[in-house]
Amino acid sequence: MIATLTILGCGSMNQETIEDFRQKHFENYKNAVLETLKNNTISLFDDDILSLLKKPPLDSMDVIKCKFLELDKRHKTIIKADVLDKILEDYRKKVITYISDWKKIRITELQKIIISFSPKKETDVIKFNKKDFIPLNRKLKKTIKADISTIIEKKIVKNVNQLFTKNIDEKTADTLSNEMIKFVRSAYIKQLLESIDFKVIVKDTTLINGVREQGERFLFTKLNSYLLNGNE
């Protein structure tokens, strides 16, 4: 929050001093908006998106595990539950390590708007518009999808056959393996990305509104402060 500047017992100030205060007020405003962007992004990834990637509190909420067990039951086989748990644990541990890179993309792209902001008139403030997020979110989604797909191949697809017991016949193993791989490569990723998209849209809207409110406070202080206007 940008604190309202007040002045007590000040005499007249020269124009240079007033300009110094105005510049400092402007810099504080830009820094506050930048901090809002960072906090919004941290919350998006470390809270919202992380909740979609880490192990769910209940097995019934684990879409991969539930799907694999459903396929196992349909084919009347028994897969190694402990191996499945280890595979999913390794997958989740790895995918979570990419979160810092995703955060960096969002902050780097959006902070360009803040850093480059130069008011043309007294009432100009920093604004984020919905169109500002379109190329960013397209880039972010492409990156996240590629990263998750790569990890799925390395941590799940590559190890699917480890789930089967020795007494399973080759034909059943091949069919079950193909269905599991098809699920994690398509339906799972699609569902996950849709959930991430929703989280991103909500946080984008929160950021737009938060920055607008900061702009309103900045203008109020700028237009009403004795210190910034040189009034005695």
- Which segment of 33-37, 182-186, 228-232 scores lowest on mean pLDDT? 228-232
Q: What percent of the chain has pLDDT over 90?
A: 78
Give the mean model confidence (pLDDT) for residues 219-229.
70
3-state DSSP assignment of residue 9: coil
- Cα distance between residue 101 and residue 201, in whole Å: 19
Confidence check: pLDDT of 109 > 90: yes
Angle at alpha carbon of residue 51, lines to 67 and 210, rounded to 5°:
140
Q: Which residue has the tokens 């900045």?
A: 218
* Mean pLDDT along residues 12-16: 59
Average pLDDT on 112-135 reads: 93
- The amino acid present at 44, given as its one-letter code, is L
Which structure tokens are listed for 53?
């990637």
Amino acid letter, 181 = I
Q: Regarding predicted confidence, which is higher, 188 or 225? A: 188
Is 148:189 a contact under the CB 8 Å cutoff?
yes
The pLDDT of residue 19 is 75
State yes or no: pLDDT of 35 exceeds 90. yes
Closest among 98, 76, 86, 95 to 175, alpha carbons compared:
76
pTM for the full predicted model: 0.86
